Structure 1
Amino acid sequence: GGSVEPDAYQQIKGEFLNRLRAARPVDGLFLHLHGAMNVHGMDDAEGDWIAAAREVVGPDCLISASFDLHGNISSCIIDQLDMLTTYRTAPHVDTLETQERALRMLIRALDTGTRPEMVFIPVPVALPGEKTSTEWEPGLSLYAGLPEVDVVPGVWDASMFVGYAWADEPRAHATIVITGTDRAVIEQEAVKLAQKFWDQRHEFRFGSRAGSIDECITWALEAPESSVFISDSGDNPTAGGCNDLPLFLGRLVARNVPDAVVASIADAAAVDACYAAGVGAEVALSLGGKLDTVHAQPLLVRGFVQFLDMLPDAKQRQALLKIGGVQVILTERRTPFHYIRDFQRLGIEPLEHKIVVVKIGYLEPDLKAAAPLALMALSPGAVDQDIARLPFQRIQRPIYPLDPEMTWEPTI
């Protein structure tokens, strides 16, 4: 999602704290967090949340937390927690296992009367998640090696955060965190992991062929594969994009591409118009460019309403609009399309179409398994994969890749 309004944050935090107060006394507290929440006017929302929880439960309560590896970890977070762990897969297929590790540490500490400590090393690297997947190198080997550190005597858990590069905050960087009981050992292991991550910073890459929107369209049309999935990565709603940029759609229409599907554009007004017109009607619409007004303007189109989601279990209204050879899915709200069934719900069999555009980063497992060929469009948007194009104001400098010639050595 995008930034959280302060009033909404305070309301939700207040509800949580009230429930926590009602549960006292508390010996142990487990928190399942992401790590990259942004609240307007606040640099470290998770640090604030954890500090507030600590104030309620008191200094003797043990607090354990699980995080997303795309979280941004601060000294405040470390100061308030007793132990933490993070996902070791991207795409994230180990969420439950990560929560279990955090809970096992908490139970271990409570059962043994042991209070572990943590060492953390901020690593000055800010890379997009699409370059740091654990399905290819170097992320694959870096994360595959963490269980070996877990079993070093004196170590309870080794965590590696690649961070969330699109947050313009001082804590936006990679981080190594080691939890354990032997200070000398966890410091040593943290330094080794930090150095290993730093040494491989130049090796991180996209997992599929990447280029501009037009380059990807050309490659797809020339490809021998019957269907090509293209990630519209700059407008990925699961990374914080607005999901309403019509840039890719505009290029497909302008180039008269004969067979393509676009999933999706969030535009409640356009969905309203499609439902009012009905299936088969021709409509003139101003599509997208209403949430993200920085990177694009609304796109004026004429098309035919092909499908309306009227199924009983519909969680929102969705419409399918056909513009020439291009079909575009319109949604009321920002909506990721991660599964083949998301398309089939709207009467679309994606593998029957030459080009399938998905507002996503790396393909999620279901789509990756199905796609004959995958490409990544380095499209503009709130989560632009080209980090150097982002207008950073508050991120800590120097940092790679913004300062490619910088030198660095890990320190506790």
Structure 2
Amino acid sequence: MQRLPVIAIAGLACENSTFTPSRTLAAAFHPKRGAAIFEKHDFLQPGTFLADAAIWKGTLIGHALPGGIVERSSYESLVEEIVSRLFEICNSLDRPLDGLWFDIHGAMSVEGLDDVEYILLSQIREVIGPTTIVSASMDLHGNVSQDLLHQLDLVTCYRTAPHVDVRETRERACRNLLTVLGEKKGERPWKAWIPIPILLPGEMTSTRDEPAKSIYAAVTEVEKEDGVLDASVWVGYAWADEPRNRAVAVVTGYNLPTIITGAETLAKNFWSARHAFKFVAPTGSLSACLDKAATPNAGRPFFISDSGDNPTAGGSGDVTWSLQQILTRSDIARPDGPRLIYASIPAPQAIENVCAAGHGATITVTAGADVDDVHAGPVTFTGRVHAIKHNDPHARVEFVLHISNTNVFVILTQLRKPYHKEHDFTDLDLRPREADIVVVKIGYLEPELWDMARGGDWMLALTPGGVDQDLKRLGHRKIVRPMWPLDDEGSFGDVDLEARIVLMSDQVGG
């Protein structure tokens, strides 16, 4: 009877802006260990096809809300535990570990380190050795350096933005791993890698819209070719300043000419479309967005993306600049003004007083700018406590203030939280579908909000913060130049979009 392969699971996933002053600590990763990993990734629970095809061993995984760069000591403490758990697993076997699923995002930044996923996998390789087949699943906003790919055997990423194929991508990474260990009997696939000198925010590369829609449709066509195991395109992560940050195409498989052709097709598709990328919604200054939203004929609800401080892209979430601008608008901040919901701003120091005062009380609160005070300081306002919610998994405590003498409702939190779903609002006795204006710290709208905006209207406000959509305003210094659209067309010359074959130590050129 053929023995089942033994596969370990490890990884740390976060998206970190190097332009955000906050720091991400170990607790933010909400580490899962051992059996708890299979509760998160339920497609590996007993009785499923993937689970029954191998012996899966969980070490430690962590998925953190995007934010500022990871504190070095926090990173090292998590890595130490991953390495220790892998040592235990490897020492318990009478043979090398067959495989490892590397569960990452691809845009993690750590104090004092560049290309940290490569560094992490190098440390893991020191334990598991060079023969273990490693398969990574990633966000398409991650980064794939040549060094990282050298340590990997397989890699894949999401094919949608907003990401509605997260589970599918992780399953594909595990399925590809089992294919190599099973029918391919451990034979390593070839890997064709092409860096593309483009660095764009996700808000210009949504797969809902062209040209990204067609670029990603071509990925599945390349994958259908005989001898291709996986095809992927990464947009890259625009808000970190490291040499690896850029778009990349990777195709893996067993037919070398086919994977080269596939990778070059995907890379050329991306590069040739560079002039066609545009924002997913009409854009403007916050003032321009509010001007339009406040007009009587504006669609309702009218969503405004406060994009510069988006916590799901790496913003600190506590920039007060936009909220302060809203509260100075005489056409909005008045008793008979439009019903406006603002989500959200942290106010951890106010939590105790608000909870003591209770629902319906009128209270004065100071909020925001604890971390990111570059663009504006804390904001102080008075209002009636409209709702209080405890034990939120992200915010811990949330409350809503109905600002005095206005029709403005501000969501305040103990810890920063993204507001992506309708129940995030209705749980706080807010009805976004019935509001006039909803301002959310987000870039492109997640599916439920997008659905609401389709019945109303939407603009993306180009606001300041650690994930500013105006990349030139941020000032990248370490990325490889020239880079589109940061540099003029004349800076590029002939762009090299030929595939590089990235080898493992036991492969030879073909």
Q: Report the CA distance shift for 1:390/1:311 in structure 2 as closer, same or farther (over 3 A).
A: closer
- CA deviation map 1:12-36 (0-9, x unaligned): 1111111112222311111121000
Cross-structure match for 1:377: 461
- CA deviation map 1:157-197 (0-9, x unaligned): 11100000100111111111111122232222212211110
Cross-structure match for 1:278: 358
- Map residues 298-317 of structure 1 onto 2, 5 A cutoff: 298-310=378-390, 316-317=396-397
- Specify which of 87, 90, 97 is matched with residue 168 of structure 2: 97
- Map residues 155-194 of structure 1 onto 2, 5 A cutoff: 155-194=228-267
3-state SS, counterpart of residue 142 of structure 2: coil
Contact 2:395 2:413 in 1 (8 A): no
Contact 1:47 1:77 in 2 (8 A): yes
- CA deviation map 1:65-104 (0-9, x unaligned): 1100000111121010011111000111111111122112
1:14 is aligned with what amino acid?
E
1:345 and 2:419 aligned:
no
1:33 and 2:80 aligned:
no
**Shift of the alpha carbon at 1:276?**
3.5
Distance between the aligned counterparts of 1:190 and 1:314, measured in 2? 39
2:138 is aligned with what amino acid?
F
- Range that drifts further, 107-116 or 211-220: 107-116
2:483 is aligned with what amino acid?
I
* Runs (5+) with no aligned partner, structure 1: none
3-state SS, counterpart of residue 376 of structure 2: coil
Distance between the aligned counterparts of 2:475 and 2:71, measured in 1? 21
- Specify which of 353, 372, 393 is matched with residue 292 of structure 1: 372
1:22 and 2:22 aligned:
no
**Shift of the alpha carbon at 1:267?**
2.2
- Specify which of 206, 211, 225 is matched with residue 152 of structure 1: 225
- Map residues 252-263 of structure 1 onto 2, 5 A cutoff: 252-256=326-330, 257=332, 258=337, 259-263=339-343
Contact 1:230 1:375 in 2 (8 A): yes
Give the number of equivalent residue pairs.
Answer: 412
Distance between the aligned counterparts of 1:291 and 1:3, measured in 2? 13
- Specify which of 328, 348, 360 is matched with residue 268 of structure 1: 348
- Specify which of 490, 497, 500 is matched with residue 410 of structure 1: 497
1:244 and 2:318 aligned:
yes
2:99 is aligned with what amino acid?
G
Q: Report the CA distance shift for 1:353/1:148 in structure 2 as closer, same or farther (over 3 A).
A: same
- Specify which of 272, 283, 289 is matched with residue 199 of structure 1: 272
3-state SS, counterpart of residue 145 of structure 1: helix
1:329 and 2:411 aligned:
yes
Cross-structure match for 1:362: 444
- Specify which of 18, 28, 53 is matched with residue 124 of structure 2: 53
- CA deviation map 1:279-323 (0-9, x unaligned): 333333332112112222112322222222147999611111122
Distance between the aligned counterparts of 2:470 and 2:73, measured in 1? 32
Q: Report the CA distance shift for 1:246/1:314 in structure 2 as closer, same or farther (over 3 A).
A: closer
- CA deviation map 1:171-226 (0-9, x unaligned): 11111111112223222221221111011111111121111101111111124323
- CA deviation map 1:244-276 (0-9, x unaligned): 112221122111312211010022113333223
Distance between the aligned counterparts of 2:261 and 2:487, measured in 1? 27
Cross-structure match for 1:400: 484
1:86 and 2:136 aligned:
no
Contact 2:159 2:216 in 1 (8 A): yes
Distance between the aligned counterparts of 1:51 and 1:86, measured in 2? 20
Sequence identity of aligned pairs in percent?
A: 45
- Range that drifts further, 369-378 or 280-289: 280-289
Cross-structure match for 1:320: 400
- Specify which of 205, 216, 235 is matched with residue 309 of structure 2: 235
Distance between the aligned counterparts of 2:148 and 2:212, measured in 1? 24
Contact 2:107 2:142 in 1 (8 A): yes
Contact 1:270 1:330 in 2 (8 A): no
- Range that drifts further, 334-343 or 109-118: 109-118
Distance between the aligned counterparts of 1:314 and 1:338, measured in 2? 12
1:283 is aligned with what amino acid?
I
- CA deviation map 1:225-249 (0-9, x unaligned): 2311111111110100011112221
Give the structure-2-normalised TM-score.
0.78
Q: Report the CA distance shift for 1:314/1:73 in structure 2 as closer, same or farther (over 3 A).
A: closer
